Structure 1
Amino acid sequence: MSNEVLGRVRELLPSIAERAKETELARRVPDETIRALVDTGVFRMLQPTRHGGLESDPVHFYETVRAIAAACGSTGWVTAVLGVHPWHLALFDDAAQSEVWGADPDVLVASSYAPVGTMVRVEGGYELMGAWRFSSGVDHCGWALLGGLLVDDRGDAVDTTTLLVPRSDYQIRDVWESVGLRGTGSNEIVVERAFVPDHRVMRNYEFSQLRGPGQKVNPGPLYRIPFATVFSSAIAAPVLGVVTGCYEHFLGRMRDRVRLSLGGGRFADDPFAQVAVARASSEIDAAILQMDRNVRSLMDVASEGAEIPMQMRLRARRDQVLGTERALGAIDTLFKMSGGNSLDAGNPIERGWRDAHAGGMHVANDVERALALYGRGAFGLPVEDNMI
């Protein structure tokens, strides 16, 4: 099956690349870029068809994100994050889905999943309050998925959840000042006090068990694969895209460069440079191939209606974090080989190096934690974690 959305997105890539510096300086993706991406359908790729979505192959979604991130890391990151949320929303109660998509199937949903919001039980739902950082692309969104900590009458934590909150119930604080991914507008969401009805709340335990009330109305295999794989792959994809874009820019920039020191000569004739290019390209390819293989394998099992083995889920997380690690190693090699010219602020290699490392800081790319979980499973020990 061809990736038709990618074909439409490719027409936008030159203009997205031209706006990369503008995006970084503005600390947010331009509205015109978001509108153009909405028109391509990229934000509806993982959205159910019954609500105007495309219900695409998730591998196609990650492929499209990588292409955008190769042109502009911040735009690719925002596309990945906002584009994966329709998948999660599809697991919510159908009433919540209709509330969000009923009036506008193109409405965008932000998130901040850390369970830092306090929620208490009230009649018909919960009362929520709190402040959430790092909500990428939030200025473009009409809803937000927020992490909540349920407390009892004594104030003790009893459960973690994700709550769906409309724009009218929260404020946005413009606080995003970062070293990398500066154009993502990852600002802070603040809820003073809001009522969230039961149908807009999901226990995190449910999605870790590959369950959700939305599966009753969205029975396709796309909504039977693990949240941990779908979401973490969406976080890794823009990092891989950024590094791929830097690799292509590196080749174009250095191919005809003549050194004025170290004996002179064409850079491309240097065997050390040739080895560096070979290593970097192989690391990028390995990361993409393994991640795509794992997502396809999960979809195959889900399509058969079979239970997804824990070892397969663990392998997907293992290869996702190691794929990010490989990509960061590759861009470090390219950055170093570029020499002093790579230090010029705002050039694509320098910006890509910052963006990739900023993306690598996301908790979904925590290498040691994910590898430890894989090791537990390999030794036959029980594994209980929401990010598997």
Structure 2
Amino acid sequence: MSERVMDRIADIADQLRLQAWEAETLGQLPETTVKQMKAAGSIRLLQPKKHGGLEVHPREFAETVMATAALDPAAGWVNGVVGVHPYQLAYADPRVAEEVWATDVDTWVASPYAPQGVAKPVDGGYVFNGRWQFSSGTDACDWIILGAMIGDADGKPLMPPQMLHMILPRADYEIVPDSWNVVGLRGTGSKDVIVKDAFVPAYRTMDAMKVMDGTAQREAGMTETLYLMPWSTMFPLGISSAVIGIAEGALAAHLDYQRERVNSSGVAIKDDPYVMYAIGEAAADINAARQELLANADRIYDMVDAGKEVSFEDRAAGRRTQVRAVHRAVSAVDEIFARSGGNAMRMDKPLQRYWRDVHTGQAHAIHVPGTVYHAAALSSFGVDPQGALRAMI
């Protein structure tokens, strides 16, 4: 069996653990971490082979993100977020991939997708303006995908809304320094970006609704199973995998911390049956979350590979699984953290950083359970959810 990216990540495990502290201090990934991830091929996992990518199974992508996040939560998060963009660029206009990877197959592409900008139609494309938050790993990226609303001649969003994904080179947007001051995932450098009157040619745009419902993939003539996977399975997969990987890292840090610890009553933690119970239960729940997420990716992949339609009900059930897996893993981390004692709260202890990071990852919009659970439940009754209930499904 050929060497996989996660094998290369395992080879630099000690460095990643140490660099996680540096990332926290810098507020972005250190250059060393970026170079190591590029050397390992972390962001090329879902990239087309014809552009130097690896085109791995979504399960392998998720496992690699988990392995990275367990060592360095910020690096794992960036792996999950930035790493999914090559999957989408595979079915963009072919000229886009040629531009992005023309001189370097390790060129990274940032986001976010929230439609916080307005694209005004002009001859040959759009004039684009806006400001976005949460551009994870953006300092290491040379391109970006940004969400937009199509505007009228005055630059006001059209109604009903029409959304686009705009693809821009680094020269066309500004990264806002010091715009990422947060309690967790500090090392992801998820800064604000600004676009001012940038011209974006039409071929560097994608219809957001067609991307989300799979029409874009079919219109692009994709035949590979990977690139026919639903966007609502693939985009959350990287983020949810990162959170579960962080939970696995938290469990490992907790075990290291508790191994020789004696509590305030002089009892070795290994002799405290209540703490042992909590560790056993948390380990089982974190593992269950991992297996749920991976099995869900396998299930959707197998359906696509067999040529079966992935219905809205299937996608909603998959999103329900992703959301629940994350909440289950984070709850497990809370149970062990609550039994770690006061010294675990010290800023030089890794456990408190994992705890902060896992909660920050859980707070991402894709992990909000309300509409996802609602839509999945309605679908199971044979009801076709409408409006906001279809968001990100």
Give 1:387's aligned amino acid: M
DSSP-derived class of the 1:163 partner? strand
Provide the residue aligned with 2:109 in structure 1.
109
Provide the residue aligned with 1:246 in structure 2.
250
The answer to whether residue 214 in structure 2 is matched with residue 210 in structure 1 is yes
Give 2:163's aligned amino acid: T
DSSP-derived class of the 1:282 partner? helix
The answer to whether residue 313 in structure 2 is matched with residue 311 in structure 1 is yes
Assess, with a 3 A threshold, how the Cα gap between structure 1 residues 214 and 312 changes in structure 2: closer, same or farther: closer
Structure 1 Cα separation of the partners of residues 293 and 206 of structure 2: 27
Is the 8 Å Cα contact of residues 59 and 295 (structure 1) preserved in structure 2? yes
Structure 1 Cα separation of the partners of residues 253 and 273 of structure 2: 19
Structure 1 Cα separation of the partners of residues 374 and 218 of structure 2: 32
Is the 8 Å Cα contact of residues 94 and 213 (structure 1) preserved in structure 2? no
Provide the residue aligned with 2:17 in structure 1.
17
Where structure 1 has 5 or more consecutive residues not aligned to the other structure, the ranges are none
How big is each residue's C-alpha offset from its partner over 1:262-293, in whole Å with a ceiling of 9 and x where there is no partner?
xx321111111111012111111111111111
Provide the residue aligned with 1:84 in structure 2.
84
Give 1:326's aligned amino acid: R
Provide the residue aligned with 2:121 in structure 1.
121
Cα deviation, residue 219, structure 1:
2.0
Provide the residue aligned with 2:261 in structure 1.
257
How big is each residue's C-alpha offset from its partner over 1:33-78, in whole Å with a ceiling of 9 and x where there is no partner?
1111101111100001111110001111111111111111111111
How big is each residue's C-alpha offset from its partner over 1:164-193, in whole Å with a ceiling of 9 and x where there is no partner?
011010111011100000111111111111
Q: Could you tell which deviates more after superposition, 103-112 or 216-225?
A: 216-225
The answer to whether residue 171 in structure 2 is matched with residue 192 in structure 1 is no
Give 1:210's aligned amino acid: G
How big is each residue's C-alpha offset from its partner over 1:238-282, in whole Å with a ceiling of 9 and x where there is no partner?
111111011112112212212232xx3211111111110121111
Provide the residue aligned with 1:181 in structure 2.
185
Where structure 2 has 5 or more consecutive residues not aligned to the other structure, the ranges are none
Structure 2 Cα separation of the partners of residues 92 and 215 of structure 1: 10
Q: TM-score, normalised by structure 1?
A: 0.96
Cα deviation, residue 102, structure 1:
2.1
Structure 2 Cα separation of the partners of residues 215 and 99 of structure 1: 21
Structure 2 Cα separation of the partners of residues 64 and 2 of structure 1: 15
Give 1:130's aligned amino acid: G
Structure 2 Cα separation of the partners of residues 358 and 234 of structure 1: 15
DSSP-derived class of the 1:23 partner? helix
Give 1:58's aligned amino acid: P
Assess, with a 3 A threshold, how the Cα gap between structure 1 residues 105 and 218 changes in structure 2: closer, same or farther: farther
Within-5 A mapping of 1:259-274: 259-261=263-265, 264-274=266-276
Q: Could you tell which deviates more after superposition, 206-215 or 303-312?
A: 206-215
Q: Could you tell which deviates more after superposition, 22-31 or 208-217?
A: 208-217
Provide the residue aligned with 2:360 in structure 1.
358
Cα deviation, residue 3, structure 1:
6.5
Is the 8 Å Cα contact of residues 260 and 268 (structure 2) preserved in structure 1? yes
Assess, with a 3 A threshold, how the Cα gap between structure 1 residues 331 and 348 changes in structure 2: closer, same or farther: same
Aligned residues: 386
The answer to whether residue 51 in structure 2 is matched with residue 48 in structure 1 is no
Give 1:168's aligned amino acid: A
Is the 8 Å Cα contact of residues 94 and 217 (structure 1) preserved in structure 2? no
Structure 2 Cα separation of the partners of residues 218 and 37 of structure 1: 28
Provide the residue aligned with 1:100 in structure 2.
100
Provide the residue aligned with 1:135 in structure 2.
135
DSSP-derived class of the 2:357 partner? helix
Is the 8 Å Cα contact of residues 118 and 151 (structure 2) preserved in structure 1? yes
Structure 2 Cα separation of the partners of residues 134 and 240 of structure 1: 20
Assess, with a 3 A threshold, how the Cα gap between structure 1 residues 192 and 82 changes in structure 2: closer, same or farther: same
Structure 2 Cα separation of the partners of residues 101 and 333 of structure 1: 45
Provide the residue aligned with 2:240 in structure 1.
236
Cα deviation, residue 386, structure 1:
4.3
Q: Could you tell which deviates more after superposition, 333-342 or 3-12?
A: 3-12
Structure 2 Cα separation of the partners of residues 127 and 15 of structure 1: 44
Q: TM-score, normalised by structure 2?
A: 0.95
Assess, with a 3 A threshold, how the Cα gap between structure 1 residues 23 and 87 changes in structure 2: closer, same or farther: same
Assess, with a 3 A threshold, how the Cα gap between structure 1 residues 90 and 220 changes in structure 2: closer, same or farther: same
Structure 1 Cα separation of the partners of residues 195 and 87 of structure 2: 24
Give 1:34's aligned amino acid: V
Is the 8 Å Cα contact of residues 144 and 170 (structure 2) preserved in structure 1? yes
Provide the residue aligned with 2:167 in structure 1.
164
Aligned Cα RMSD in Å? 1.5
DSSP-derived class of the 1:295 partner? helix
Q: Could you tell which deviates more after superposition, 125-134 or 98-107?
A: 98-107
Assess, with a 3 A threshold, how the Cα gap between structure 1 residues 248 and 306 changes in structure 2: closer, same or farther: same
Give 2:41's aligned amino acid: G
Structure 1 Cα separation of the partners of residues 331 and 191 of structure 2: 29
How big is each residue's C-alpha offset from its partner over 1:218-239, in whole Å with a ceiling of 9 and x where there is no partner?
4200011111111111111111
| Structure 1 consecutive aligned stretches of length 4 or more whose deviation exceeds 6 Å | none
Provide the residue aligned with 2:295 in structure 1.
293
Q: Could you tell which deviates more after superposition, 91-100 or 105-114?
A: 91-100
Cα deviation, residue 31, structure 1:
0.8
Q: Which residue among 314, 321, 324 is the counterpart of 2:323?
A: 321
Structure 2 Cα separation of the partners of residues 130 and 48 of structure 1: 30
Structure 1 Cα separation of the partners of residues 92 and 123 of structure 2: 20
Is the 8 Å Cα contact of residues 294 and 315 (structure 1) preserved in structure 2? no
Provide the residue aligned with 1:27 in structure 2.
27
Is the 8 Å Cα contact of residues 242 and 355 (structure 1) preserved in structure 2? yes
Give 2:319's aligned amino acid: R
